[in-house]
Structure 1
Amino acid sequence: MRIRAVGTSALMIEVEDPLAWFAALDAARTDGRIDVTDIVPGARTVLLDGVPSVAALTAALRDWPPPAAASVTGDRLDIPVIFDGPDLAQVAAHVGRSPEGVVADLTGTAFRVAFGGFAPGFAYLTGLPWSIPRLESPRPRVPAGSVALAAEYAGIYPTASPGGWQLVGRTDAVLFDIDRTPPALLTPGRTVRFVIA
């Protein structure tokens, strides 16, 4: 684990299993063993923000053993998807499957929310059975609700925006609502399944 200060009240730790560290640190925050305001997992990092004493927490973290693999939090969430994306055939050709086979693989996968980013409500879902290249040129506008694949991740665009991921379907699920607690539908550690709408 590598630990570095970010400004005067935050730490960034580089770890092998960010979700496991997120779960362990969140539990430590809940039971009062550490004092932090926010814990934000990333692809290979965890950000601890609102740290009263960066030096004290750095020293404490150096003595922590690596946590056990992350367990799933919350109930499984089924996302209804219409699989009619403009890149479905291209994805199928890339992985050597029929479009129907790709849909079967996607609906048969238990995805896990690894972290959020890019836009409020956008979650990076791990568990994709293949690696999918990004588009050579991003689209200037991807419709909200587009189910997309890139590299080892699946994701759903919460709002219309530019994007370079391959589009395989669409959903009406509301991914971000400021009046909901929490506002993001897809939170780190949660299991997500795509189901045919």
Structure 2
Amino acid sequence: MENLRKAFGFGGVLNADEITQVTGRFVTQHLRAGEHFFAPGDYPDQLGFVSAGVCRLYLVGRVPEEEATRCFIRPHQFILDLESFHSNRPTQVGIQALTPCELLRLDRRTWQQLLAEIPKLFILSKLLTEVALLNNLKDSDFLHFGTAKQKYEEFVKRYPDLVLNVPQHYIASYLGITPQSLSRIRKSTAS
């Protein structure tokens, strides 16, 4: 809960009492590896914060077996489909736990009540959204250049914890390569 308090303290927008008011409304949820926070087609009405574990955000192609991992969500990051959360439309993406996860979550109705009670929370939510977007762009910038091997090496450098904890086929999907190619790359870098 302390990391959630730090997240809502970002930028000094909210005072300590307001942070307590917001964070006190979150509830704990546990996900087993493989479970979804929400799946494509769901109507997600929850805002989440990862306390422990790793999730992935993914898209589904024309056939259900065709998936693409867009990003990994690690501890101390918020999770939601912003468009679906605000529009109450079905989501096109899924968020799935890759390891056992502890999440703190808040439903849309409670979030809207908090926005009405604490107008400055709207400013903070826009600030956090902007920071998350910029971090997401920065985190995936290396995917656009270089060979598959160079992309994997950069991934290992940036995210050594994910290499150890995330199933390799999700890493391959994130890098835009086949699991077989990733296996060959890993063998060549290990020797």
Q: What TM-score do the two structures reach when normalised by structure 1?
A: 0.24
Q: What TM-score do the two structures reach when normalised by structure 2?
A: 0.24
> Comparing both structures, which one devotes a greater share of its residues to helix?
2
